[in-house]
Chains A and B, each alone.
Chain A
Amino acid sequence: MTRGMYGVAAALLALCIFLIDALSPIEGAVAVLYVLVVLIASMTSRRGDILIAGVGALALTIIAYFISHGLDNVASPALRAFVSVAAITIATLLAIQNQASTHALAEQANLLNLTHDMIFVRKHSGEITFWNHAAEEVYGWSSSEAIGRKADELLETRYPEDRDTVETTLMRTGRWEGTLEQRTRSGVPIVLDSRWSLQRDRLGQVMGVLETHTNITERNAAHAALVRSERRYRHMFDSTRIGVVQEDWSGIREELERHAALNGGRRVGHVSTIPGFMARARRLVRILDVNPAFLEMIGVEKTENFTQTIDDVLDTGDISFAEAIEAFVRGDPFYEGETELVRAGGSLVPVLFAITFPAIDDDGNVLVFVVDISERKQAQDALNLAQSELAHAARVATLGELTASIAHEVNQPLMAVVTNGEAGMRWLRRNPPDLHEVETAITRVIAEGRRASDIVKRIRDFLKKAPAKQDELCLPALIEEAVALVEHELERAKVDVLLEVQGGLPRIRGDRIQFQQVLVNLMVNAGQAMADHPGRRAIFVEASRLGKDEVAIAIRDTGPGIPEDHLQRLFDPFFTTKQNGMGMGLAICRTTVEAHGGRLTVESTPGDGATFQLVLPTSQPGLP
C-alpha cells in the first residue's frame, strides 16, 4: 500500500467518523475512533503525516462538538469530547514516538546494508531474522527468501572444527572467529572469514547471533598461487644449470648516497672518480644466497662453506664489476657482462652473467645469473687458434708470392755491407791508408747492416705465429709498414703506390699483424690484377675518418676491374682466379676485419679498376 492510499483511507475514515459524530444522535465518545485515523496515518512512517492526522482529528472532534451541542451543554458531552481529545492526542504522540524509534532502527539496518561483508542475524536455534544486501548478492537468496530458514542448512556451512566446540566457544566468550566454507545458491563453494557475536537481552537470555562473513575465496586462491609460485621458483633456483646469486647491494647504495650528500646532493657521475671506492665496493656487496649450480661452478661443496662478499669470488683482474656499478648508478634495469670467477682451488672459470637491479624502493636485493662458458671459451679459443693458423698459412703464401722481390730487397743491403767492408779494407791497406775513406765505408756498413736487419725483422714479424693481440694502433704507421712490405714487389711490377692519409686520425684497436696482412693482401691482389694491364698502373691507399666512430681505408687500383659474377663470390673461401691460388686470402681478410668489428666491401666497374673499402671502429668511440 502506498502513502497516497493510506492518506485516502485515513481521510475517508475521518469523514465517516465526523458525519456520525456531528449528525447522528448517538450519545457516546464516537470521536475516540479518530485514533484509528492516526494509526492508519502512522503506517506511512512519516512524522508529518502522523501530525496532520492527529491535529486534523482534534479539529474535527471540536467542530463536531460545537455543531451538536453548541456552547450551552457542557456537562457529559463535554466530558466525552475531552476523553476523545485526550485519546487522539495520546495516540498521536505514541505514533510519533514509534515512528522515531522505527526510523532509528531503519538507519542502523541501512548501515549494515552498506557494508561489503555478508551480515545476518539468526536466532540461537538457527532461524535467520536479518539478511543484508551483501548477503543477498553473494549468497544469492533475497532477504525475504532467507529469513526464517536455518542458516547452517541454507548455506551448507562446513566448520574447521567440531560444530559443538564452536558453540561452546560462542556461549562461553560471546564470540567466535574462524574460517568457514559455505555454498552459494548456485552451488559455488566459497571460503569465508567468519566472526560471530552473541546478543543477550537484559535478563541474559540469548536473543540472537550476529554473523559477519568476509569472502576470502579470491584472496585464498591468490595466496595459494603465490605459494605455488614460490615453490616453483625455489625449484628453478635449486635445479637450474644456471648459477644464481642473490646479493645485497644496499651497502653500495648507502655509500653512493653518502657520497652524493657530501657533494651537495649531486648525483655521482663516474664511480671511478670516488677515491678508493672500487676497492671497498667489492666488499660492500654481500652474498645472501646461491644455488647449487653456482656452488658447483666455483667448486664449493656446501652453502655453509660459502663466502660472504663478492670480493671472495671475483678475480682481481675483473673490470666488469666497475661497469656493473656504472650501470647501477645510471639506473639501468640490468647489466650483462663477462668475467672470471675464482674457484675454490684458486683456478679461474670464465663466465657470462646478467645482473637485474631492483627498483629504488624495492628490498635492495640483486639477482645475478651466471653461466659457465669454459666450454664455449675453449671452443672459441680452438676456433681462434684455427683461424690464426689459417691466417698464418695465408701470410706465408702471400710472402711466398713475393719471394723474388724480398730476396732482392734483403740482398741489396747485404751486398752494400760486404762491398763497403771490402772497400774499407782496401783503403786501409793503401800506403798511406786513407782513414777518411775507411770511416765512410764503416759508417755505411753499420747503416746497411741495420737496414738489412730491419727488413728481416719486418718479414719475421709478418710471419710470426702469435696469438692475436688487442693493441692501440696508429693507422698511418700501420699503412706505411704494410706498404713497405710490398713496395718493392709493386715497383718491379711497375705499379705506383700513392698514399693519402688524413691527418689526426683516431687510433684503432686490434692486432697489428692481422691488419697488415689484410692491407698487404689487398695491395698484392691489386698489383697482380694490373700485371698485364696496358694503361696506368697505380694503387691509391686512402685513409680517412668516417662519421664519429669509424675510420675508412680505401684501396683503389687502376686495373681491369672485377667481373660482375666474380664480385658476388669474391670473399667466399676457396674462390680464386689465380693459377696456383688457395682462394683463402680475401676470405681471411673479411673474417679478420669482421672480428675487429669492422667491415670489408668491394666495388668495381669492369674496365675501371676496383676499390676495396675497410671500415673499422675507432678504439675509443665517442671521443672527438
Chain B
Amino acid sequence: MIRNASAAAAPVESVPFVAVVDDDPAVREALDSLFRSIGLATRLFGTPADLMSSPLPSAPGCIVLDVRLPGISGLDFQAHLVEHGVELPVVFMTGHGDIPMTVRAMKAGAIDFLAKPFRDQEMLDAVTAAIERDKRRRSATAAREELRSRYETLSPREREVMAHVVSGLMNKQVAGMIGLSEITVKIHRGNVMRKMGVRSLADLVRQAEALGISKP
C-alpha cells in the first residue's frame, strides 16, 4: 500500500512532501535541493516501480514525474496510480512535451506539465498548487468521514426521523407517518441534532445532502 490514510499523523509527517521520479540522478538531486530549500520534504525514486514499492508519508504531498521513464511511460504510470487508489496530484516534466501527451495528462488529472528546463518558480508554484489540492482533498475527505461516523451513531429510528425531517415534514406529520407520538418524534429529533452536531435544521439538511440521504 502506498499510504495509510487512517494512520495517526505524526508531527514530522505533517510536513508536506514531494515524491520525485526521474531516471537521471542529477535531475533528482537538483529537484531535491530545490524543494528542500522551501521547506518541503522529498522522496526520490529512479523508477515508478521503486515508488510503488516504498511507503510514503501520510502528510499532504504530490508526485513530480518525468513523462519518459525507463520501463513505463509517465502517463501509463499515472493511470496505474489511479487504478491503485493513489490520489496524490501529479506534476509532469518533459524534455519534449507534445500536445497530445499534455492533453492526456491534464485529462487524467495532472496539475501541471512543465518543459525541462523550467524556472524554479514555475515548478514551485506547480508543486505548491498540487499540495494545496491534496490538502483540500484530504480535509474534504476527513469532513465527509467524520459526518459518516456521526451518522453511524444514529439508531435506525433516529435515521428514519432524520430522513423525514430533512425532507421538510413537521414533527406532527412525521409522527403520523411512522406511527409514533409527536413527543417521541421530538425526542428523536433532538438526539439526531445532538449526535450530528448541528444546531439548526438548515445545517442538518446540508449534512443529509452530503451524506446523500433522501426521503425514504
Contacts and interface: CB of A to CB of B under 8 A. Distances in A.
A437 B33 CA distance: 8
Contacts of B36: 423, 437
B96 A419 contact: no
A412 B26 contact: yes
Interface stretch (B113-121, B151-159, B191-199): B113-121
Interface stretch (A49-57, A333-341, A403-411): A403-411
Contacts of A230: none
Interface in A413-467: 413-420, 422-424, 426-427, 430, 434, 437, 440-441, 444, 447-448, 451
B99 to A, nearest CB: 15
A434 B95 CA distance: 30
B116 A412 contact: yes
Contact of A419 (B70, B71, B120): B120
Nearest to A414: B117
Contact of A415 (B30, B37, B70, B71): B30
Contacts of B142: none
A501 B185 CA distance: 89
B165 to A, nearest CB: 56
Contacts of A491: 70
Chain A residues touching B, majority SS: helix
B120 A412 contact: no
A578 interface: no
A444 to B, nearest CB: 6
B30 A408 contact: no
B94 to A, nearest CB: 9
A492 interface: yes
B33 A413 contact: no
B33 A412 contact: no
A102 B178 CA distance: 189
Contacts of A430: 37
Nearest to A434: B37
B25 to A, nearest CB: 9
Interface string B1-40: 0000000000000000000000010110111011011100
B68 interface: yes
Contacts of A427: 33, 37
Nearest to B33: A423
A448 B38 CA distance: 23
Nearest to B27: A416
Contacts of B96: 404, 407-408, 411
B27 A415 contact: yes
B26 A413 contact: yes
Given A407-B95, A408-B96, A416 B34 contact: no
Nearest to A422: B120
A456 to B, nearest CB: 15
A423 B30 contact: yes
B82 to A, nearest CB: 24
A371 to B, nearest CB: 58
Contacts of B24: 412, 416
Contacts of A420: 29-30, 33-34
Q: Which of B31, B70, B117 has the most CB of A within 10 A?
A: B117
Q: Which of B27, B31, B37 has the most CB of A within 10 A?
A: B37
A437 B34 contact: no
Contact of A492 (B26, B68, B116): B68
Contacts of B116: 411-412, 414-415
The 4 closest A-B pairs by CB, nearest first: A422-B120, A419-B30, A426-B37, A415-B117
Interface of B: 24, 26-27, 29-31, 33-34, 36-38, 68, 70-71, 95-96, 116-120, 123
23 contacts: A408-B68, A411-B116, A412-B95, A414-B116, A415-B27, A415-B95, A415-B116, A415-B117, A416-B29, A418-B120, A419-B30, A419-B31, A419-B34, A419-B123, A423-B30, A423-B37, A423-B120, A427-B33, A430-B37, A437-B36, A440-B33, A441-B30, A441-B33
Given A411-B96, A419-B30, A444-B26, 19 more contacts: A407-B96, A408-B95, A411-B95, A412-B24, A415-B30, A415-B117, A416-B24, A416-B27, A418-B120, A419-B123, A420-B30, A420-B33, A422-B34, A422-B120, A434-B37, A437-B36, A437-B37, A448-B26, A451-B26
